[in-house]
Chains A and B, each alone.
Chain A
């Protein structure tokens, strides 16, 4: 130590460290002096007579508009019953609010479940934050609360914004709804930006754009007296104004949505999507049965929630993206495109004539029309939807090529639409059959079913719409999306398509489009015809183990410059041409045929839509995959 060459500079460095430490502690001492001597009187005053309370300044949730600026969702003021906790040292009052008997009384007064109220009050007492006991309280509850205020310290009526959907049931699944965050969800979140009583988007656009719609709550410090009445604001912490959420402009067109709602009004279960094929913007989306999202804003009774979430028909399910169905003959569009693109057939190739069915591997595969279609070329085969023709095409095509085309059209995977919980559907691959049936234990016979859209194939209505949109764009992939613009954010742009698209010659696309046009002009879908404009489409009737066939239909219009694609599935009703195509026809007529004087145009009127259908126990298995 005596001869350590480092000793001397070490002493200097010690001096530096010691100085830093002393300076730090001196800083604390100065801070203490300021608080406890200079400003002592002011703080003593605050501590003695009054308490400081934090009041939340709620940020209004962003509004949602259609593409022309029509309002679809916004926030409206309502009266809520809240509980403001007392500091624990405000002994008498705080003790009262810790008492279970008191909580029971409050629960009865606001007409809510005792356990629920107890939970909220306890949480508020622990955290010091105001608890919303009841949103949008009806007048009698408010009056009762006002009357017994003296006996119920801490209970108050407060203005609270609630979510309002002016069109009610219209586009309910697409908009979604916002509900109060649960204690479990609060625990699971790591970002700490939500508090008890906050709304959070649960489904639809409300959920997928939660971060953008939500905004940021502000707060101000309020000095209150012993009874919890506001005395003044605190000079110390200036109020932090809330930042409102961003408004969303959707690609949705209210006019199209209303037309689709009207056309689907009599449907019990099913879904329909309208898409702009040029950019993938969703023009309308309907799912049946539906619900009124306003119900969630007012707070649902447990029984009502049960009926909505667990009823046999599951009204909360957005069948357009969460329902999966066998595509049936609508899939023949894929088979035809694939066959033409891979040179398996040309538009005028004829196959062995249809005799109402064909023999394969010792089994009889029948055509939907048992009378038989005779000899057809490819265009005629699609027009008549001849199964026998497509059986033969499927055998020649083989699974890998058909699968590749199907995936190029976006089937078998999520389309990437900006809506939550989209289903994948299913396009089987060779690996899939090896896994499920065993290697070498399946043969080309499967191709017969796949070629006509039966078998394991499953699609969502949105996927069907995307498929047809790609046909109109000559194979260019489109990404379906619902948000057109986020107001206040300059560079919002929809993402790129998930799927690759389909590459095929112009001749292929022309042939497919001609055939689709023939389907409507003189084939299975003549009920979708609209005077004045060309419509092209394909019907489908998909067998399923849960009752009658599902009716499907996809189409686009006008044929010379396609600007709308429609896809729809009506569950368990029968033929696509009979039950689905007319719905498309009605929508297109409403949009494209100028209203005459005899027919009332429903554009200015709210659609008359039946309430949620009675739960039907024998349903929905087809939606499980």
Chain B
């Protein structure tokens, strides 16, 4: 062995730096966002307490050998499903959706826990020499159950993070990208149908895909049959619905269509960011009046406050910190010797990446309003603790990257 035992693996410093930097930006911005009249002052002290708690959680999670999580995957998954059912039965609603469990002093969002548990179960399942379809397919069910439960809350934004995790992990486990895309084609089919209202977009895309991938005949027939059934069924189903039912589905798919809440917020958010310009209006000097109407300027729309007060410079700095976090995370997956640890890292990082993208694209008006917070920045206890656990697990992989 040429590897020197003096170079004991240590935590990933750039990753830690990015995370702590983002939490600090978050604290400062929460302070600024809640300093206007009529807002909850002093939320930043609570956020600070949560941040310290999250740091503790991260250290704790990092110190336990990851093999323990491998063993605990299924029990954790079971518990989180139970909690998700509990939320639907007796959850507390905020803004019309049941997402929270009230545990006395704290409220708790079980979908966050379910995400981590699902990653662990998938990592355990995909940790094999060669991923066969018979092993990959049941994983669909592992993802489908929490997806449906969370979508029923209704929280489509969070629910969609489950398939995103699955796709990244299946890809990382070795399924060829072409076959993966073919497998995903029914989803593309449905989404394109609802977005464009016509089938031809999908037909063109599908033809291109087949030409590139050149799948084996049985797979091609199966995928074609599935898409054919969908293409026939969807418009049929759609035309059968009453007007108000259609509108409900549209609002469900794109809450921005609801001009009261979401559409209004997006416009306010764009004004805030746009008026910030290159250098911003200065910290605590967010003169822009618009965001004060947003009950969520310290949570979901915190990035708009960053953009307004710190300008392009600040907003891009935050983007760079996130990019550092995500790329270092994927790099850990690349370096880890253990298949389980590597897969776990990919799942966790993808979950983070999904949340970051959905939130940031929302604040600049390029994605629907889904109510997802920005990891590490937004005000919120559960989210911050869960982010701490996610990062602790990543550092765990860093600490033990030589272990198999």
Contact A21 B323 (CB under 8 A): yes
User: For residue B178, which residues in chain A have a CB less than 8 angstroms away from its CB?
Assistant: none
The yes or no answer to B383 lying at the interface (CB within 8 A) is: no
A159 within 8 Å of B (CB atoms): no
Contacts of B278 in A (CB 8 A): 36-37, 40
Please judge, given known A-B contacts A87-B293, A88-B36, A190-B96, whether A35 and B364 are in contact too, CB under 8 Å: yes
User: Please, how many angstroms separate the alpha-carbon atoms of A13 and B357 in the complex?
Assistant: 20
A283-320 CB mask vs B (1 if < 8 Å, else 0) is 00000000000000000000000000000000000000
Q: Closest chain B residue to A195 by CB distance?
A: B260
Kindly state the separation between the CA atoms of A36 and B95 in the bound complex, as whole angstroms: 31
Measured in the bound complex, the distance between the Cα atoms of B275 and A47 in whole Å is 6
- Is B225 interfacial (CB-CB < 8 Å)? no
Known: A35-B270, A37-B278. A88 touches B37 (CB 8 A): yes
B61 CB–A CB distance under 8 Å = no
Near B by CB (< 8 A), chain A positions 199-220 give: 211-212, 216-219
Contact of A1 with B by CB under 8 A = yes
Which of chain B's residues have a CB closer than 8 A to the CB of A33? 312
Find chain A residues with CB under 8 A from B295 CB: 126-127
Question: A9 at the A/B interface (Cβ < 8 Å)?
Answer: yes
Q: In the complex the two chains form, is B38's CB within 8 Å of A126's CB?
A: yes
B289 & A40 in contact (Cβ 8 Å cutoff): no
Whether a CB of chain A sits under 8 angstroms from the CB of B157 is: no
B101 close to A (CB within 8 Å): no
The reply to whether B174 and A32 form a contact with Cβ atoms under 8 Å apart is no
Please determine whether B293 and A128 come into contact, CB atoms closer than 8 angstroms: yes
Scan B286-323; emit 1 where CB is below 8 A from any A CB, else 0.
11111011110000000000010001100110010011
Q: Which chain B residues lie closer than 8 Å to A344 at the CB level?
A: none
Question: How far, in whole Å, are A536 and B222 apart by their CA atoms in the complex?
Answer: 68
Q: Mark B210-246, 1 if CB is under 8 A from A, else 0.
A: 0000000000000000000000000000000011100
Interface size on B, residues (CB 8 A): 71
Known interface pairs A51-B290, A192-B96; A91-B37 also in contact (CB < 8 Å): yes
Residues from 93 to 114 in B contacting A, C-beta threshold 8 Å: 93, 95-98
Check B259–A54 contact: CB distance below 8 A.
Answer: yes
Interface check A43, CB cutoff 8 A: yes
CA distance A31 to B361 in the complex (A): 8
B36 and A89 contacting across the interface, CB-CB below 8 Å: yes
Asked if B287 and A29 make an inter-chain contact with CB atoms under 8 angstroms apart, the answer reads no
Contact A237/B263 with A13-B172, A91-B37 known, Cβ cut-off 8 Å? yes
The count of chain A contact residues (Cβ–Cβ below 8 Å) is 69
On whether the beta carbons of A16 and B322 are closer than 8 Å, the reply is no
B140 within 8 A of partner (CB): no
Alpha-carbon distance between A567 and B330 when the two chains are bound, in angstroms: 77
Q: Complex Cα distance A348/B267, Å?
A: 83
Residue of B nearest to A44 (CB): B275
Contact partner of B330 among A14, A32, A43, A189, CB < 8 A?
A14
Please state if A46 and B275 are interface contacts (CB–CB under 8 Å): yes
A185 nearest CB across to chain B (Å): 13
Majority SS of interface residues in chain B?
Answer: helix
**A190 and B274 contact, CB distance less than 8 A:** no
In this assembly, does B125 line the interface, its C-beta being within 8 Å of a C-beta of chain A? no
Report if A36-B277 is in contact (Cβ < 8 Å); known contacts: A191-B96, A216-B247: yes
Docked-complex contact B274 and A27, CB < 8 angstroms: no
* Interface 9-mer from B76-84, B199-207, B331-339: B331-339
Q: Is B264 an interface residue (CB 8 A)?
A: yes
Closest to A91 in B: B37
Most buried by A among B177, B259, B316: B259
Tell me the minimal C-beta distance from B356 to chain A in angstroms.
8
Other contacts beyond A43-B275, A90-B289: 15, CB < 8 A: A14-B331, A31-B361, A36-B274, A36-B312, A46-B274, A52-B268, A88-B293, A94-B38, A126-B295, A128-B264, A129-B260, A192-B261, A217-B260, A219-B259, A237-B263
Chain A: residues with CB nearer than 8 A to chain B? 1, 4, 6, 9-11, 13-14, 16-18, 21-22, 24-25, 27-29, 31-33, 35-37, 39-40, 42-44, 46-48, 51-52, 54, 56, 85, 87-91, 94-95, 98, 125-129, 187, 189-192, 195, 211-212, 216-219, 221, 234, 236-237, 240, 243, 489
B residues bordering A, Cβ < 8 Å? 36-39, 93, 95-98, 168, 171-172, 174, 177, 242-244, 247-248, 258-261, 263-264, 267-268, 270-278, 286-290, 292-295, 307, 311-312, 315-316, 319, 322-323, 326-327, 330-331, 333-334, 337, 339, 342, 346, 353, 357, 360-361, 364-366, 402
Query: What are 23 residue pairs bridging A and B, where the CB atoms are less than 8 Å apart in the complex?
Result: A13-B171, A16-B171, A25-B326, A28-B319, A28-B357, A29-B316, A31-B366, A33-B312, A35-B274, A35-B307, A36-B311, A36-B315, A37-B277, A37-B278, A42-B274, A47-B290, A88-B37, A91-B37, A128-B293, A189-B96, A192-B261, A216-B247, A217-B260
